[in-house]
């Protein structure tokens, strides 16, 4: 029997004024033990020479990799910024390989990252999206002492449910997927595009994938996830005092925005027809009801008590949020 063709990887690299860190990132991509076949760079109107840094680093790596298969570079330079979600949409839409790895501009990949992740896809045809833990480092790549999953307070039960094939149940409750750690099959784009701007690109790709196929994770940190002042989306575990402040803070439009996101998800899943199970559709509809309830709570804390406790009895705070923490927030936050 003919051996299966090795899976190739495209890297979707998005940049915005990231020149300070790009050389390290691009080198870590090009010098992988299992390198990608192409990097698709989508630059969002940078003013600091980010594109030139990428080109120069690619040339530098090509000289070091003399005799090995070249890594192609394709560049999109946006005259007007598309912002994060649409910039990534442009990059991933242009990728040609069966597997697509997302890349931020300021991280550093472990040199065997793609080798380990691609091996999982080659062993499991049902796997559509895979993400990993990450080592948190500061601006100078000094270890902060925690990992991404620690910062996100990922529980053993959440890990077990994802490994068991129940990623949708976890992701409907809260997102655990960070784009910088993610590789997915290009086939996912048929269901996920266009990316709604109301969702972050990584959480949308993950939850769409989890409705029709398998999403899994590796608990091993395979990138250094740099935390610095310019992070558009970072990772840090809240202290107890910060959790208390959040519980008492104004909710703003949080629950309205979450309702809109859930409604957009339901609309997309209905477009996928019978590929999405009735149980998943029912769960999304139930989440919409829960978010509408939370958005409509009265300003008076006293008047919230009975409705919140009734809602808690349905189990939806546990199913679609952070359980008791959500109950406390709804009882005490300002409006």
- What pLDDT digit, counting tens, does each position of 19-71 carry? 999 999 999 999 999 999 999 999 999 999 999 999 999 999 999 999 999 99
> Which stretches in the chain have pLDDT values below 70?
1-4, 229-251
User: Which tokens go with 195?
Assistant: 């990316």
Residues 6 or more apart whose Cβ sits within 8 Å of residue 230: 17, 106
What pLDDT was estimated at residue 228?
A: 73
CA–CA separation, 123 vs 213, rounded Å?
15
Q: What are phi and psi of 168, to 5 degrees?
A: -60, -45
What pLDDT was estimated at residue 203?
A: 98
Global pTM exceeds 0.85: yes
- Domain 9-226: homologous superfamily in CATH: Spore Coat Polysaccharide Biosynthesis Protein SpsA; Chain A (3.90.550.10)
Sorted by where each begins, the domain ranges of the chain are 9-226, 240-332
User: Which tokens go with 252?
Assistant: 């703003």
Residues 6 or more apart whose Cβ sits within 8 Å of residue 82: 42, 44, 89, 90
């Amino acid at each position: 029997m003919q051996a299966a063709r090795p899976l190739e990887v495209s890297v979707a690299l998005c940049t915005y004024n990231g020149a300070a860190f790009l050389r390290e990132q691009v080198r870590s991509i090009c010098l992988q033990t299992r390198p990608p076949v192409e990097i698709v760079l989508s630059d969002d109107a940078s003013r600091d020479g980010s594109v030139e840094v990428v080109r120069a680093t690619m040339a530098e790596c090509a000289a070091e990799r003399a005799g090995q298969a070249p890594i192609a570079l394709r560049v999109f330079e946006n005259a007007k910024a598309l912002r994060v979600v649409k910039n990534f949409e442009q990059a991933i839409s242009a990728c040609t390989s069966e597997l697509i790895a997302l890349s931020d501009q300021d991280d550093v990949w472990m040199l065997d990252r793609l080798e380990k992740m691609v091996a999982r896809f080659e062993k499991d045809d049902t796997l559509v999206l895979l993400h990993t833990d990450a080592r948190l480092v500061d601006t100078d790549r000094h270890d902060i002492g925690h990992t991404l999953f620690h910062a996100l307070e990922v529980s053993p039960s959440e890990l077990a449910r994802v490994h068991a094939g129940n990623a949708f149940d976890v992701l409907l409750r809260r997102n655990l997927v960070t784009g910088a750690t993610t590789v997915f099959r290009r086939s996912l784009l048929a269901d996920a595009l266009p990316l709604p701007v109301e969702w972050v690109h990584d959480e949308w790709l993950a939850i769409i994938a989890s409705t029709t196929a398998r999403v899994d994770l590796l608990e091993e940190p395979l990138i250094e996830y740099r935390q610095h002042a310019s992070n558009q989306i970072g990772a840090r575990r809240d202290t107890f005092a910060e959790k208390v402040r959040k519980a008492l803070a104004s909710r703003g439009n949080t629950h309205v925005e979450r309702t809109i996101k859930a409604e957009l998800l339901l609309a997309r899943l209905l477009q996928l027809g019978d590929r999405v199970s009735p149980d998943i559709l029912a769960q999304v509809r139930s989440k919409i009801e829960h978010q509408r309830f939370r958005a409509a709570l009265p300003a008076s804390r006293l008047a919230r008590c009975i409705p919140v406790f009734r809602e808690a009895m349905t189990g939806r705070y546990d199913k679609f949020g952070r359980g008791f923490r959500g109950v406390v927030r709804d009882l005490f936050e300002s409006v």
